[in-house]
Amino acid sequence: MPSAAPLAAHPQTAPLSALLDQTADAVAAVRAGRSLTDALGRCPPALRAGTQALAFHVLRWWGSATAARALMAPKAPPPNVEALLVSALALLWPGSEPPYAEHTLVDQCVAAARRRTPAAANFINAVLRRFLRERDTLVAAAMHAPEGAFNHPAWWIERVRQDWPAQWTSLLAAANRHPPMVLRVNARRGTAAAYVQRLAAQGHAASVVGQQAVLLGKPCPVSELPGFAEGEVSVQDLSAQRAAPLLLGLDGAAAAPGLPPGARVLDACAAPGGKTAHLLELADLDVLALDSDPQRLTRVQDTLHRLHLHARLQVGDGRRPQDWWDGRPFDAILLDAPCTASGIVRRHPDVRWLRRPDDVAALARMQAELLDALWPLLAPGGRLLYATCSIFHAEGRYQIDAFLQRHAADKPLLDAHSPGHLLGLPDNGQPMTAASTQGDGFFYALIHKP
């Protein structure tokens, strides 16, 4: 799902009450366990962009707004009423860049309530008007609860605090900011510097922030990017853009030599295909793109088609090589493993509310199974790059420490210059200097096979 631009970037093309109605449905779906992407897919196309912008905003402030609702109405209303009421409170929250005038928001929320839950319209009106009258007091009280203060589930807050005792508050705050829109210029088609000039000619401010990376001054639809349809540029976060150079030995931070032309490379969890494409943009390789989901693998093919690149695509579970492997070892393996996505919640604010505490351990087990199953497929002298878009130690440093111990007899070598955890903070060794240009939270470990 693309990152939402600031709310002001979305002109209102429909009555606000209709957008609030759709937003309430979307966040109710998230609270019921469905992804926001799925919920937005059910939204009428004409309302989808505005609904996405409002839903992103609401989910970033859901913890604070829910804490305030509990102070004013201790007994939680039915889910469909709660979704609309808390959405309005989130949009009225101070410091959250409210997109509409207060009286307009309240009036339109009540209008939406009269259509969706007529019996609750007066209740919603009373709660919202009380919030405006007593906002300073209610906000201060709501901040006493962890979820109200940090807008993440309490278990998530505690895990971040334990993993990163010196940075935990900064990490939680960063997860609530709007993400930058970063582009990857196709190295076969041009340079980052030349693309910045093309953007400037079309009125888009941008700057070079990496070898092929361009930071847009303001997010925009991909249809406005020159050459996007022709495969000249893709959208990919700075941290995600480190994967291909690391595996190929083109990242100066790691000691891996370059791969020879035609090297056999496995992208073990390839969808949606951004890293697969980046590998092929940088080198002539024999790439097998594997994914267990046929529909997601179709997205890989679409990505490669747009970029005029080719890889062999295979449906299969990386944990069961016997079902898909032809027996020929790989020179390099990229394992961008399924994870909690705790490093990219600024782009997907629903993730924090969808995850459950048990998910961390379950996903860590899957990651370990993938590592153990894929390691034997690597040729002697080859390298495996393990990656997750997570800031949790269980999916990063602890996972690799355990892998190295399990396979000590094989003498795997962790590249001393592996990036490890990237936190997306200015003091985390990233090449940027401003928080707004930091990459997402990621973990990378490059492992060599003797």
Does residue 74 lie within any of the structural domains?
yes
Task: Tell me the HSE value of 169 on the side-chain side, using a 13 A CA sphere.
Answer: 3
Q: Within this chain, do residues 415 and 369 fall inside the same structural domain, yes or no?
A: yes
Residue 389 is among the residues annotated as catalytic for this protein: yes
Local confidence band at 257 (pLDDT 50, 70, 90 cut-offs): confident
Least confident of 91-95, 256-260, 446-450: 256-260
Residues making up the chain, counted from first to last: 450
Query: pLDDT at position 14, please?
Result: 78
Q: Within this chain, do residues 79 and 203 fall inside the same structural domain, yes or no?
A: no
Does residue 280 lie within any of the structural domains?
yes
Local confidence band at 399 (pLDDT 50, 70, 90 cut-offs): very high
Q: Within this chain, do residues 192 and 257 fall inside the same structural domain, yes or no?
A: no
Q: Within this chain, do residues 45 and 105 fall inside the same structural domain, yes or no?
A: yes
Does residue 225 lie within any of the structural domains?
yes
Query: pLDDT at position 433, please?
Result: 37
pLDDT tens profile 231-252: 999 999 999 999 999 999 988 6
Instruction: Produce one character per residue of 312-322: b if its CB has 16 or more CB atoms within 10 Å, e if not.
Output: ebbebbbbebe
Query: pLDDT at position 269, please?
Result: 96
pLDDT tens profile 57-73: 999 999 999 999 999 99
Domain boundary among 203, 235, 267: 235
Q: Within this chain, do residues 250 and 116 fall inside the same structural domain, yes or no?
A: no
Question: What is the average pLDDT score of the chain?
Answer: 92
- Residue 170: closest CA among 346, 4, 350, 340: 346
Domain boundary among 133, 151, 169: 151
Does residue 358 lie within any of the structural domains?
yes
Query: pLDDT at position 5, please?
Result: 40
Query: What is the signed CA dihedral for 181, 183, 160, 358, rounded to 10 degrees?
Result: 100
Q: Within this chain, do residues 286 and 408 fall inside the same structural domain, yes or no?
A: yes
- In the predicted structure, residue 436 carries a pLDDT above the cut 80: no
Query: What is the signed CA dihedral for 316, 322, 324, 330, rounded to 10 degrees?
Result: 110
Number of structural domains (the chain) is: 3
CATH of the domain at 280: 3.40.50.150
Of the residues 109, 269, 339, 389, which is catalytic? 389
Query: pLDDT at position 99, please?
Result: 67
How far is Cα of residue 337 from the mean position of the Cα atoms in its chain?
A: 14
Does residue 173 lie within any of the structural domains?
no
Does residue 171 lie within any of the structural domains?
no
- In the predicted structure, residue 429 carries a pLDDT above the cut 80: no
Instruction: Produce one character per residue of 300-310: b if its CB has 16 or more CB atoms within 10 Å, e if not.
Output: beebbebbebe
How is the beta sheet containing 182-185 ordered, strand by strand? Answer: 206-208, 213-216, 182-185, 233-235
Query: pLDDT at position 6, please?
Result: 41
Mean pLDDT value across residues 105-122? 96
Q: Within this chain, do residues 143 and 89 fall inside the same structural domain, yes or no?
A: yes
Local confidence band at 424 (pLDDT 50, 70, 90 cut-offs): confident
Q: Within this chain, do residues 421 and 273 fall inside the same structural domain, yes or no?
A: yes
Question: Two tokens at 170?
Answer: 């900064």
Domain boundary among 134, 151, 168: 151
The percentage of the chain sitting over the pLDDT mark of 90, rounded to a whole number, equals 88
CATH of the domain at 52: 1.10.940.10
Query: pLDDT at position 100, please?
Result: 83
- Residue 68: closest CA among 165, 133, 7: 133
CATH of the domain at 208: 3.30.70.1170
pLDDT tens profile 337-349: 999 999 999 999 9
Mean pLDDT value across residues 262-273? 97
Q: Within this chain, do residues 275 and 413 fall inside the same structural domain, yes or no?
A: yes
The residues pairing with 235 across neighbouring beta strands, listed in sequence order, are 183
* Domain, as residue range, for 146: 7-151
Question: Two tokens at 403?
Answer: 């892998």
Does residue 425 lie within any of the structural domains?
yes
For the chain, how big is the Rg over CA atoms in Å? 23
Instruction: Produce one character per residue of 430-450: b if its CB has 16 or more CB atoms within 10 Å, e if not.
Output: bebeebebbbbbbbbbbbbbe
Query: pLDDT at position 232, please?
Result: 98
Query: pLDDT at position 425, please?
Result: 81
pLDDT tens profile 357-382: 999 999 999 999 999 999 999 999 99
Does residue 167 lie within any of the structural domains?
no
Q: Within this chain, do residues 83 and 201 fall inside the same structural domain, yes or no?
A: no
The percentage of the chain sitting over the pLDDT mark of 70, rounded to a whole number, equals 92
Q: How far apart are the C-alpha atoms of 4 and 52, rounded to whole Å?
A: 7
Q: Which residue has the higher pLDDT, 437 or 97?
A: 97
Reduce the secondary structure of the chain to three states and give it as a string. CCCCCCHHHCCCCCCHHHHHHHHHHHHHHHHCCCCHHHHHHCCCHHHHHHHHHHHHHHHHCHHHHHHHHHHHCCCCCCHHHHHHHHHHHHHHCCCCCCCCCHHHHHHHHHHHHHHHCHHHHHHHHHHHHHHHHCHHHHHHHHCCCHHHHHCCCHHHHHHHHHHCCCCHHHHHHHCCCCCCCEEEECCCCCCHHHHHHHHHHCCCCEEECCCCEEEECCCCCHHHCCCCCCCCEEECCCCHHHHHHHHHCCCCCCCCCCCCCCEEEEECCCCCCHHHHHHHHHCCEEEEEEECCHHHHHHHHHHHHHHCCCCEEEECCCCCHHHCCCCCCEEEEEEECCCCCCCCCCCCCCHHHHCCHHHHHHHHHHHHHHHHHHHHHEEEEEEEEEEECCCCHHHCHHHHHHHHHHCHHHCCEECCCCCEEECCCCCCCCCCCCHHHCCCCEEEEEEECC
Phi/psi at 246 (nearest 5 deg)? -65, -45
pLDDT tens profile 28-44: 999 999 999 999 999 99
Q: Within this chain, do residues 230 and 247 fall inside the same structural domain, yes or no?
A: no
Q: Within this chain, do residues 227 and 298 fall inside the same structural domain, yes or no?
A: no
- In the predicted structure, residue 9 carries a pLDDT above the cut 50: no
Query: pLDDT at position 95, please?
Result: 75
